[in-house]
Structure 1
Amino acid sequence: MTSESAQSPSQGAASTPIRVMLVDDSAVVRGLVTRILEAEPGIQIAASVGNGQMALSSLERNEIDVVILDIEMPIMDGMTALPKLLAADPGLKIIMQSTLTLKGADISMRALEMGAADYIPKPTATKDLAGGAEFKAELVGKIRALGQARHRSPNRPPRPAGAPALRPPPSAPPARVPIHPPGPLSLRNNTPEHPDVIAIGSSTGGPQALFGVLGLMRSGTVSQPILITQHMPATFTTILGEHISRVSGWEAKEGQDGEIIKGGRVYIAPGDFHMVVETKGTDKVIRLNKNPPENFCRPAVDPMLRSIAAAYGKRVLACILTGMGSDGLKGGQAVVASGGTVIAQDEGSSVVWGMPGAVATAGICSAVLPLPEIAPWIMKLATRR
């Protein structure tokens, strides 16, 4: 599985460390993960426990930013503990450990619907942990991105009694590139085009965002096809389609090579394949390829958006949702260059404001919106003639 987390290089220690709790019934796994994380500047192991009940008790005594939560454990398993941990601290960032199986993917998707921020593959052998560079990159990258998002949140709870004191955050946040999107219902070029296709790119936090957008934009509300690239491994994208169908009523499934694109359907890039569009006669056709990863990802958003811009011209509406890195920026620029429209999720509603922040701060967006406003915006443009 190609990891997006390689986009997040190791960083120097922040003034406030990212405090991690490991929850796994395997002491061997906890020990090896501890050694990986303690070698990383700016990351501290605040607690290491063997089941969900112990995690709840530990949360009362320690300030925690990110939890690595195993699913199968005695006394209290991860799925039981997940809502209890979030009830105790709604801003907590929880990463589920999951096997790369249909069952594991389905459980992970349910965990994401319940409020988990992300997932990582469940290590299958000691060698995966001891020498797995890809596992380490994914683990560290996600912890850094989610921990930093947690530190920026205005809703962090008070420090638990007895918790070690943390150094205060910097007195002033780092300056950000200003965003100058037009008003939420005005378009960048003032000549709105009725789109023939809707394209969505997402990553960390993306499944939850997709459920939210498509759950509001239910089947039948727009007639255009919707193409989605979500950074996910194979198997997980199959389950993602099933969950989207359940929450929205859309016919959602992985795209197939050579498939003719039809309106009113959702096509998802399969794990480990780039999904692009080509014109064949009067039809638009899906093509899958294993070209090199872009932005350390396959599937990646950029090749999908570039191909859609080439195939559909100015009649493209692209939406970039929450995710790490900057995938979607170059593709979004291609959409705008062809006369199409790009919108992005805002920082406040994003789990990680990497991908949407990249397109927003580049000045190519017609709107930067909180998640609940994205579906109404899309529906208004998609049904406007």
Structure 2
Amino acid sequence: MTNRSTLIFLVLFSLFLVQCGSDSDPGLFTAVNHVAVDATNDRFFLTEPEQKLFVFTASTQENLASQQPLVDEDTNEDIAALLPRQVSQLAVYAEGTTSRLFILGGVTSPEGTELNEIRVLDFDGDDFTETDFSPITLSDGDADTDDSDNAFADLLVDGDNGVVYVTDATAGLLYVLSAVDGTTVSGPYAIAGIPQGLALDNARLYVCNSSVVDAEQVVTVFNTADYTTTAIDLDIPCHQLAVQSNEVGTVMLVRQYDDEVVLIHSVDTTTYALSTPLVAETDDYVDGFLTNGHGISSSINGLVLVRDGSDQLHAYLSELDGNVQHVTVSDDLTAYEAETLSTSAANLTDSAALSSGDGEDSLAFIVSESGALLVVDVETSDIEVMD
């Protein structure tokens, strides 16, 4: 073989190796943006842009489908066509052995109008079907305005009562819908300001408010039995929150709307109108909150609060840079410790928890728009990265 022939052969062989490498499996995920857990049926669901939907066994993270994603434009075109191109909120309700997904996001009507709708899909363990009351299109009740541009801030399922809560940041409303048939159960209820994130704990619904008006910078607390309200005055605009109780009391984490600050407070459950900052027991941290340089290293995108088998409360804050801030609350709920858990992921966004009634085997799921799922063992804070 001449030198020229040898050179051509080597170049072609190198190109062959590169091509083979480019065909290697890039990983299961590309840009996970939302996660929801059905603890009753031991399932969790993930969404990605471009109308993709994944489903796994929650306790083991095993595939529940022979091909993932179970829904996309190739594997299930009909169901994929029902999904918004970009999901803004995802929640799940256990209807017996069926997982009922409530999926909120912007879609375009056949007439070309942009709408915010809630698609409702049932998963029976094998297949997805759309419920007969899907989609749910919410109205603010004002005939003089177009509801299509209303900004729905959060969506949350109350599995015990079969209710779905939705906040409308544009109209300043809280909707209360039936998870069984999509009808209005009560309300809607007006909330002064700009209602945002939701959290549910011990028959109380907590609603954040991102208003710039001082008097409206509160967490509104609804009693879910009769929808009477109290307010916890925080003096900050808030965007997102997490609330969890144990045998001692209730802890609330609140993310500030316009700054990287997360409050860590206990809730006065005799009035639901007061909260108390927890004392920082970690050096260089601040009493009552985490902030830049003191427990926060980049933008916070997700909050989850869960208790372990010893009834201790743990919070996990997912950050844009891939770090997870782990907060451990003291036994008497008066203090906290914090640590940074580094991961190989980035662009961490949504989070959810799997927890039994006694807190045993609790897991936190955190998703990454860089294409990963983080599974946190709450007992040990060990993190497994699935990509």
Same fold (TM over 0.5): no
More strand by share: 2
TM-score by length of 2: 0.27
Which of 1 and 2 has higher RCO (CA within 8 Å, sep 6+)? 1
TM-score by length of 1: 0.27
